[in-house]
């Protein structure tokens, strides 16, 4: 089956158009760093609104496609992703339960209404009632769950001042059930998670939120793999061409997307918080690009091939030079230590001077080789 890939690019605009048509107000994507102290980066479409929600402000009915970053997890999860979001005052919870899934179906015509399924908590009778009265959802497959089976409760940020309880949406795929107990939300691959509609509870007011991951929704059109999305696949291919090992190329592409978004948000590498996340991403990527060790100066050339954006490449090269200089200093210190104590173990060198174990072993071997 051939699929028009430009359809994918229309996902976000169609989602917003559908909601604007229902009277929702579109808000722009906030910068990744527009957060309060409880989270490092915008990690959900709700994050930029947190101060207003904590204050109990009225926000009406809004919709947005928010760029988000989650620094945890590894491939196949994309660190940077879009979130198709809806946020409204609590009195609109019923509208959001009805209209957010409708907008999702309009945005992604490869989803089928009769394949939608939901999981809702045993204890949330009010939410189950809203599902039953929804035109779009009244006949979808619904599973009553406990929070341990499928998450039904959330907390927004570490301070726990905003919490939520809600409905998780899935799309049923054509794979056979894994077993007789296979049910909505099972992780066997039959149920792809789309996102949630959540009632958000703040100290002064309630709100209604919906959030669906843009890339996971788009990738359903291509069999469910976000690395099959054209832009991600192109980046992965470029990583391979720049010399990244086949099996590491998807993770390298994931990291390039993340450091590009962070560079655009003016995040620079450093020791704490978001700056530390940036440093961790840059160094992992530099490692995959072969910039970590060895006297080889080709890493700069390889990096320019992998990352054509001059600004992002500049950030990577500066960090690479800093890293290599730090390594050289650490190795000099380790060699001095080895001259004084030639029986020092590689483990000790690695731990004391922060050099990679492989390198520390080689240094020990060199010293023992010189022994009479």
- Residues near Zn ion (CB under 5 A): 178, 182, 186, 188
**Closer CB to Zn ion, residue 85 or residue 185?**
185
Neighbours of 163 (CB within 10 A): 14
Q: Give, for 7, the enclosing helix (H) or strand (E).
A: helix 6-9
Give the Cα separation of 368 and 361 in Å (integer). Answer: 11
Which residues, at least 6 apart from 288, have a Cβ–Cβ distance to it below 8 Å? 239, 244, 245, 248, 251, 252, 255
Smallest gap, in angstroms, from Cβ of residue 151 to Zn ion? 17
Q: Which CB, 57 or 149, lies closer to Zn ion? A: 149
- The minimum distance between CB 188 and Zn ion, in angstroms, equals 3
User: To the nearest whole angstrom, how small is the minimum distance from the Cβ of residue 191 to Zn ion?
Assistant: 7
Nearer to Zn ion, 189 or 326 (CB): 189
- Least Å distance, CB 172 to Zn ion, is 11
Cis peptide before 51, with omega less than 30 degrees from 0?
no
- What would the two tokens of residue 194 be? 């789309």
Separation between Cα atoms, residue 272 and residue 280, nearest integer Å: 11
Q: Min. distance of Cβ 186 from Zn ion in angstroms? A: 3
Compute the least distance from the CB of residue 120 to Zn ion, in Å: 18
- Nearest approach in angstroms of CB 138 to Zn ion is 25
Number of separate helices (H) and strands (E) present in the chain: 13, 9
Answer left, alpha or beta for residue 280, where phi above 0 means left and psi between -120 and 50 means alpha. Answer: alpha
Q: Which is nearer to Zn ion, 143 or 305 (CB)?
A: 143
CB contact at 8 A, 136 and 101: yes
Please say which residue, 116 or 239, places its beta carbon nearer to Zn ion: 116
What lies within 8 Å, CB to CB, of 142 at 6+ separation is 117, 118, 119, 120, 128, 131, 184
| Distance in Å, CB of 184 to Zn ion, minimum | 9
Which one, 172 or 268, has the nearer CB to Zn ion?
Answer: 172
- Minimum Å distance from CB 185 to Zn ion? 9
- Least Cβ distance, residue 178 to Zn ion (angstroms): 3
Main-chain phi, psi angles of 25, to 5 degrees: -100, 125
Kindly tell me which of 143 and 240 has the beta carbon lying closer to Zn ion: 143
Residues facing 26 on adjacent strands: 63
Of residues 182 and 367, the one with the C-beta less far from Zn ion = 182
Phi/psi of residue 320, nearest 5 degrees: -60, -40
| Residue placing its CB nearer to Zn ion in the complex, 224 or 314 | 224
User: At what angle are helices 249-264 and 273-288 packed, to 10 degrees?
Assistant: 140
CA distance 250 to 241: 12
Angle of helix 310-340 relative to helix 249-264, nearest 10 degrees, comes to 110
Output 134 or 168, the one with its CB closest to Zn ion. Answer: 168
CA pair distance 233, 110, nearest whole angstrom: 20
């Amino acid at each position: 089956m051939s699929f028009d890939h430009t359809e994918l690019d229309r996902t976000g605009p169609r989602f917003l158009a559908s909601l604007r048509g229902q009277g929702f107000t579109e808000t722009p994507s906030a910068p990744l760093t527009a957060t309060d102290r409880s989270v490092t980066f915008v990690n959900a479409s709700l994050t930029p609104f947190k101060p207003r929600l904590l204050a109990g402000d009225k926000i009406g009915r809004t919709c947005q496609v928010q760029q988000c970053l989650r620094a945890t997890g590894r491939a196949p999860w994309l660190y940077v992703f879009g979130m198709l979001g809806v946020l409204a005052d609590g009195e609109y919870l019923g509208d959001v339960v009805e209209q957010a899934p409708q907008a999702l179906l309009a945005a992604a015509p490869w989803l089928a209404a009769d394949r939608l399924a939901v999981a809702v908590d045993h204890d949330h009778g009010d939410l189950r009632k809203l599902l039953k009265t929804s035109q779009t959802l009244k006949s979808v497959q619904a599973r009553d769950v406990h929070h341990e089976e499928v998450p039904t409760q959330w907390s927004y940020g570490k301070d726990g001042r905003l919490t939520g309880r809600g409905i998780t949406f899935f799309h049923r795929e054509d794979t056979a059930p894994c077993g007789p107990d296979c049910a909505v939300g099972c992780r066997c691959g039959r149920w792809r998670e789309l996102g949630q509609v959540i009632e958000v509870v703040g100290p002064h007011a309630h709100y209604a939120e919906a959030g669906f991951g843009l890339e996971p929704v788009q990738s359903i059109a291509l069999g469910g793999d976000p690395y099959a999305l054209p832009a991600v696949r192109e980046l992965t291919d470029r990583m391979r061409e720049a010399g990244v090992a086949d099996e590491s190329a998807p993770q390298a592409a994931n990291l390039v997307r993340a450091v590009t978004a962070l560079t655009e948000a003016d995040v620079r590498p450093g020791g704490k918080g978001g700056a530390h996340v940036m440093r961790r991403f840059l160094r992992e990527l530099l490692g995959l690009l072969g910039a970590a060790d060895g006297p080889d100066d080709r890493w700069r050339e390889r990096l320019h091939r992998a990352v054509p954006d001059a600004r992002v490449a500049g950030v990577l090269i500066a960090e690479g030079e800093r890293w290599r200089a730090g390594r050289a200093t650490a190795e000099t210190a380790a060699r001095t230590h080895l001259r004084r104590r030639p029986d020092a173990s590689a483990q000790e060198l690695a731990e004391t001077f922060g050099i990679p174990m492989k390198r520390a072993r080689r240094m020990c071997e060199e010293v023992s080789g010189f022994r009479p």
